[in-house]
Amino acid sequence: MKNRFTLFRRGKVFYFEDRETKLQKSMATQDLGQARKIVQAKNDAINQPMMNLVMAKTFLAAKDPKLITRTWEDVLERFCDRSKPPS
């Protein structure tokens, strides 16, 4: 399977190209390692969308452990608590 996104360089800045849409966009980096990671992440997002969902949940859980168990009811309660009491 061919990767959808490819990496190239103009001057000192790295860019990626979407092979389907022919879109070319700067990654605003001069670091080859960082540019490769960005392109690899973009290709992984296309090839393994469920894996990205699992990784996103993992990163969010590390930031806020309660996030995984939080419900919309919790969100609405917190939202309503921050408003001023009725007059």
Q: Are residues 1 and 43 in the same domain?
A: yes
Q: Are residues 33 and 54 in the same domain?
A: no
Q: What is the mean pLDDT of the chain?
A: 89
pTM, whole model, 2 decimals?
0.61
> Is the model's pLDDT at 83 over the cut of 80?
no
Q: Average pLDDT, stretch 36-43? A: 94
Residue 25, beta-bridge partner list: 16
- Structural domain includes residue 17: yes
Q: Could you give the percent of the chain with pLDDT greater than 70? A: 93
Q: Which pLDDT score is estimated for 58? A: 86
Task: Name the region of 2 (left: φ>0; alpha: ψ -120 to 50; beta: rest).
Answer: beta
Q: Are residues 43 and 55 in the same domain?
A: no
CA-based torsion, 20, 34, 63, 52: positive or negative: positive
- Structural domain includes residue 31: yes
Q: Are residues 42 and 58 in the same domain?
A: no
> Is the model's pLDDT at 21 over the cut of 90?
yes
Q: Are residues 41 and 68 in the same domain?
A: no
Q: What is the rounded CA–CA span in Å between residue 38 and residue 50?
A: 18
Residue 6, beta-bridge partner list: 17
Domain with 7 in it: 1-47
Q: Are residues 26 and 57 in the same domain?
A: no
pLDDT digits (tens, 9 = 90+) for 22-36: 999 999 999 999 999
Q: Are residues 31 and 54 in the same domain?
A: no
For 5, other C-beta atoms within 10 Å of its C-beta total 20
Count of structural domains within the chain? 2
- Structural domain includes residue 87: no
Six-digit token pair at 69?
């168990």
Q: What is the rounded CA–CA span in Å between residue 62 and residue 65?
A: 6
